[in-house]
Structure 1
Amino acid sequence: MSYILSEEEQMLRDSAQAFLAEKSPVSELRRLRDEGCKDGFRHAIWKDMADMGWNGIVIPEEFGGVDMGFTAAGLILQEMGRTLAATPFLASSVLCATALRYGGTDGQKSEHLPKIASGEKVYALAVDEKARHDASHIETRARKDGNGFRLSGQKRHVVCGNGADMLIVAARMDDDSIGLFLVDPEASGVERTLRRSVDSHAPANIQFDDVKLDGDALLSETEDGSALLDLVLDSGRACLAAEQLGIAEEAFSRTLDYIKEREQFGQKIGSFQSLQHRAAHLLTEVEMTQSLVIKALRQLDEAPSQAPLWIAAAKAKATRVSRLSSAEAIQMHGGVGMTDEYEIGFFYKRAQAAGEFLGDDAWGAGRVAQLSGY
């Protein structure tokens, strides 16, 4: 396993950096917030990403994708972290694409994966039902009804759920096993409630009231729905850790630039030893996070059975370091770091929200301990 990016991966990262700097800088997130955009993202940018081939990054070529793997998806998300790009990429092109690729029937793959890859439709994964992430707590029920199902329950904090054209919902079936179901959000009995999160994103709470589903709504290619859900969530955690790494890197980079230019008491504040020590500490933390994230992504691509421990470690470390880096950035910027005029506060807010999604650092540490036999 190599920690060094291939030439193809470097080209992907560079193109992502240039595209996002032009199309989705931090100022675009500010505009989305100020306009009160209900979907939380620009559909035009989503289509542009599809034209770049990103939306099909983990989708096989036979279904319209480019099949470059999770490391490539992570590189794109790392650059998204640098610009705080608000897109459905993680929800649609990673979480839902993975669910369909590994759990869908041939018919489901043929119908849905090309829509994700082309940017024609946005998909969202609905799992959590508590205030904090807990994938084991699923009380939403899919009751057998003739050849189909009746779905009832509630999901919280569905990322991109308000702007999604299709949902993949985790629910318990009659035998208490887990199933993943394709659900049209416009179907009778589905009610979406827009939420505003601290990072200016627009997740949704979704209520399902006796929603009628056809039999082919169930992703049934695999018999073990719990294992499929674990794989889907782990793919999301590894890629989200890459986004958090990008947040930490950009917050650190902006802070270095600031302390090199800001003067106090007649000298650059970057010459103060206390700030130098804090910057050096941040650099080592960011570098360790980078190594853990690439390890987790490579394992997911090359040895998925060994990936869960590394993914949990990477998510925990990336959560802690992105929060540390953005908090230190605000402090080193001084009073202006607290103002809305400066963009550094957006990084802090996104670090808080991304840290909670799919499990925070405490969750990750517990998962590492569990997988290590403690």
Structure 2
Amino acid sequence: MSIQISYRFVVKNEKNKDGLYPIYLRAFLKGRKIETATTVAIPLRDWSLRNQRVKILNKNYEKYNMILDAIDKKSVKLLVNNFLNEEYPLTLVQFKERLIASNHTSNEESFTDYILEYLDENKVKFKAETWFGYKSQISKILKFKKRICFSDITEKFINEYRQYMLYTLGNNENTAGKSLRVLRTFVNISIRFGYIKSNPFQYISIKKVDGKRDFLSIDELNKLTDYYLKNNLLKPIDKDILGYFLFACYTGLRYSDLKTFSKDSIVNDSIHLRMHKTGYLVNIPLSTKAKMFIPDSPSNSNRVFRIYCNKVTNKVLKKTGVQLGLNKNLTCHCGRHSNYSFQLKTNELQVSIF
């Protein structure tokens, strides 16, 4: 890899509101260019095209040239660091972003504040579940340490955070691993924009172990079904949640698919739905038992179920499981596992992919 970006200072042709001409840093790469504004603006006669600096006849020439010198040095440092320490050369956009970042950041600035700001500015780029999940992970990190600077993000910090999740929060290995993968995403964002110089995850392996997947037996499913159909004292929220959980048991829909499941998705006693996770368009037979859990009362929206947040859903399901004496960790995803279990037992595959 070689240093491919070149640059020089230029005077813009248009005057600003003060009648002065702004100085920009113009970078070049393979016939393309990008410009970054500086804080320097001068009369056109005060610019030395040959030296790319402000002439001595300008009363502020020392101050302005110090600013341009500093930008010059930062640009060189960015390009050299990229050449020596990174696998791929900078693009023009990356060069500009890192140059801007270097002008208003230090290692003592808040890592978490920056990531929260980045998430808010780029919210439209993320799926809603991903965005809220990322925000939740920031809250989790801040429980470990109230203020986290860029300079704090080291291999030691990551290992201590893992230990905190496993032994203080009681997270299992997979939950801790998921949080570390999100943290790694945040670190990669910071590296991309030049806030973190070296990758602290370089020598860290994030484990993923085969966990126990709870699923319902036929008897347990029948017990829950009878409880749903015959218990008239169920709170509305409990009945709603148990209803779409049992529907998932008979159809195999994920929680994310239940949220988008609409009345238009039911065609000729089948569910025609594009899976949220995979993007596949599937056709799932709608059995008589599954139909029992579709609400009778019409809703204002086209959605079939009123879906509560995942945390509330799982809390209600666990409470229901305890009340019925089920020795299972009931979660919404347990319904999908149960459906696959039934399919395997009956050697029937109920899902067709278009």
Shorter chain as denominator, the TM-score bin is under 0.3
Tell me the TM-score normalised to structure 2 length: 0.26
Tell me the TM-score normalised to structure 1 length: 0.25
Q: Which has the higher contact order (CA 8 A, sep 6+)?
A: 1
Give 1 or 2 for the bigger CA radius of gyration: 2
Could you say which structure has the higher helix fraction?
A: 1
